[in-house]
Amino acid sequence: MKEYDIIIIGAGPAGLQAGIHTARRRHSVLILGKLKASALWNAHIENYFGVAGKVDGSELLKIGLAQAQSFGADFLEEDVVKIDKEETGFTVETENGSLFRSLVLILALGVKKKKKIFKDEDKFVGKGVSYCVDCDAWFYRGKKVAVIGDGSAAFHGAQTLTKFAEKVYLIPYPFSPSEVSEEQISKIQKEVGSTDKKGAIEVVYKKPVEIIGEVEVSGLRFEDGEVIAVDGIFIEMGAKGPLELFSPLGVELDSETFSFVKVNQRMETSVPGVFACGDITGPPLQVAKAVGEGCVAGISASDYVRALKKKG
């Protein structure tokens, strides 16, 4: 079984940045994960420091991986299926049965969407389907968009989009008035009425069943057959970390949603030797935030390993 100082689980911007910092500090480092699993893979980036114009997320990930490897980090494009805590470190098993041991773990697995609305949703990610209003609202200036979701995230997303889009359709979940309580309907109308002075938001109590479009989103079909023309669909159904994978470690979760890993300023979790960074620590789910936390986690993990080795 090959041993490393540090194993990083996740090959998104947070994990790769952690890999750059730890490898550059002369540690033996293994990055496990798939680039295409990152939410960044299908995204287009305009609001990242030093990037002029629009950059494909896939290209940014490839560059980040090359950087980490240039400093000596190993990379294995396999998903992790099991993590075990041992007396002097951790053992990680991949989907193909490979086993590795490390002194320290950095969790950078990103998040999973809690609910999928459309069966062909993935096909349109980055081509009209988005999960982040703050990230992508700018791309829909003067266009028509739909926001599908439950809770305050959908309301706030719709409100934000009125500053950019020509028209915003807010589709609350559950999808029909018969499934929504009078109290919820009243709340929706109050929320929309207090923020939408120009009529830019239209609340639709229907179930969307199909995304219309060849390559990019052009419309949305409802259960009753009605089709509305939209250029973008924002899905705000919430997200959570892959809890089933790292729950055996016993890391503490955030006290509000119990969906993300709780960390301190050094990106330390409640378990000694386990660090976390990126989307897995909670919103905002932004590339810049993920990279910054990856930097901190990498430096903190490096300091932790050096302290362990100094003790002997």
CATH classification of the domain holding 145: 3.50.50.60
Same domain, 220 and 243: no
Tell me the residue range of the domain where 69 lies: 2-113+239-311
Average pLDDT over residues 24-52: 93
Same domain, 104 and 138: no
What would the pLDDT profile of 42-91 be if each residue is shown by its tens digit?
888 888 999 888 889 999 999 999 999 999 999 999 999 999 999 999 99
**pLDDT > 80? residue 192:** no
Give the global pTM. Answer: 0.82
What would the pLDDT profile of 257-308 be if each residue is shown by its tens digit?
888 999 999 999 999 999 999 999 999 999 999 999 999 999 999 999 999 9
Q: Which amino acid is at 71?
A: F
3-state secondary structure of 255: coil
Q: Which residues of 94-125 are buried (b: 16+ CB within 10 A; e: fewer)?
A: beeeeebbbbbbbbbbbbeeeeebbeeeebbe
Q: From 179, 126, 133, select the one nearest 152 (Cα to Cα).
A: 133
> Considering its fold, how many domains does the chain have in total?
2
Q: What percent of the chain has pLDDT over 90?
A: 66
Same domain, 64 and 161: no
Q: Name the pLDDT band for 195 (thresholds 50, 70, 90).
A: low
Same domain, 222 and 128: yes
Backbone angles phi, psi at 114, to 5 degrees: -70, -30
pLDDT of residue 180: 52
